[in-house]
């Protein structure tokens, strides 16, 4: 990736994500460690991309098959 791709990248702290989602910091840490929330690890701290929060809150359905009706 080039530097241009990183200019609009917004990284949030665990505290900021917890505030936005209105959950505890421990809940955010659990989601990060389980892989539900992608993150970047800097030393002893984590940064979560804002786009990951949007994807977490607006999951897309992966099923392409229509539901069968009885």
pLDDT in 10s for each residue of the chain, 70 residues: 566 677 778 999 999 999 999 999 999 999 999 999 999 998 999 999 999 999 999 887 554 555 555 5
CATH numbers and ranges of domains, the chain = 8-57 (1.10.10)
CA-based torsion, 12, 15, 21, 26: positive or negative: positive
The residues facing 43 across adjacent strands are none
3-class DSSP state for residue 68?
A: coil
Give the number of other CB atoms < 10 A from CB of residue 9: 12
CA distances from 38 to 13, 30, 68 (A): 12, 11, 34
Model pTM?
0.73
């Amino acid at each position: 990736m080039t530097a241009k791709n990183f200019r609009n990248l917004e990284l949030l702290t665990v505290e900021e994500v917890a505030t936005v989602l209105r959950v505890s910091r421990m809940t955010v840490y659990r989601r990060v460690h389980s892989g539900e929330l992608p993150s970047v690890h800097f030393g002893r701290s984590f940064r979560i991309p804002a786009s990951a929060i949007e994807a977490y809150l607006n999951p897309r359905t992966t099923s392409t098959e229509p539901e069968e009706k009885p």
